[in-house]
Amino acid sequence: MTDPTDFEKRTQEVLEEGAARLDGRTRSRLTQARHAALAQLEQPVRQWWRKYVPAGAAAAGAVLAVVMWSSPGDRPVASPVEDMDLLADSDAPDFVDDGEDLEFYEWAAGEVET
Amino acid sequence: MTTSRALDQFLSSVEKRAFKIAQFGLRNEDDALDAVQDAMMKLVQSYAARPAGEWRPLFYRILANCIRDVQRRRTVRGRIMAWLPLRDGDDDEEFDAIAQAPSHDAGPAKRLELDEAIGVLETAVAELPPRQQQAFLLRNFEGLDVNETASAMGCSEGSVKTHYFRALENLRAKLGEVF
């Protein structure tokens, strides 16, 4: 980078003097502008969503989520005890009599699995 | 040093020159103050987390955009206002002798010399074509290097050098007798 010429030094000096002569009102407004800009750093990030979601709506959403979660439509998987009850039912048909259809049932079970 | 403190120091170091640069571009004190405030807000909003070394060219790039936005709004407003018969011509230059009175002490002779030099130079800079004015103020006044100036102006380093060279030539032609 080349050294500045005398002309460049002179113009820089004059411009700096012009900036140094700003009146009190302008300096005060610049200070206020700076403080207003820096105040943005004080705003917590976690509250950004509060501008868009009223508190009541947020609470209603939470209640709805709990209700949906505990809906009777979402039954847990049947326990093994219930399976045993079904198998032990005396009215349940006897699927295996003298073994004649055993091969068929084995084949059917294989078809179901695939 | 916290980011807030570092930003405070940075903005404090550039605010006066930024105001003068905006004033050259807009020729109106209130518009210049608005542009500087907008630029400060946007820098802190969007670039506070960037390395401090990047703030200067970023800030002046944002300021240039803010100045351009004001100029465009003026163009639109001027077209609309042209249809209103009752409005007088705008006098954008509000001069208050007391408010504008400088507050520095200097010897009378030196002061007079500087007064004249400031007036002549600022008039000449204000008359430069926008890109020459921008390149000159960023390089000479703010002290950005060619790379930083190119970043702030959104152009190549070659363009910066050309604009700056032409600005100097223009100013020399106008100010040769005074400077």
> Given this model, what pLDDT does residue B11 score?
97
Which residues of B are less than 8 Å from A19 in CB distance?
16-17, 19-20
pLDDT given at position B92: 46
Q: Is A30 on the interface with B (CB under 8 A)?
A: yes
Burial A35-64 (b: 16+ CB within 10 A, else e): eebbeeeeeeeeeeeeeeeeeeeeeeeeee
pLDDT at A43: 72
Reported as type and span, the H/E element at residue B63 is: helix B55-81
Q: pTM value?
A: 0.67
Residue B150 has pLDDT above 80, yes or no: yes
Contacts for B87-90: CB closer than 8 Å, 24+ residues apart: none
User: Does the beta carbon of A45 lie under 8 angstroms from any beta carbon of chain B?
Assistant: no
Hey, are the CB atoms on B104 and A21 less than 8 Å from each other?
yes
Q: Which residues of chain A, if any, have pLDDT below 50?
A: 76-77, 81-83, 85-86, 89-93, 96-98
- In this prediction, residue B89 carries a pLDDT of 47
Q: What is the pLDDT of residue A90?
A: 47
With cut-offs at 50, 70 and 90, classify the pLDDT of residue B90: very low
For B2-48, how does the pLDDT look when each residue is reduced to its tens digit (9 = 90+)?
889 999 999 999 999 999 999 999 999 999 999 999 999 999 999 99
Nearest to A8 among B102, B103, B140 (CB): B140
pLDDT higher than 50, residue B140 = yes
Residue B30: per-residue pLDDT: 94
pLDDT at B103 over 70: no
Q: How far apart are CA A30 and CA B124, in angstroms?
A: 25
Across the interface, whether the CB atoms of B33 and A34 are under 8 A apart is answered no
What percentage of chain B carries pLDDT values higher than 90? 69
Report pLDDT for A105. Answer: 65
A17/B contact by beta carbon, under 8 A: yes
Each residue of B47-85: pLDDT tens digit?
999 999 999 999 999 999 999 999 888 877 777 777 666
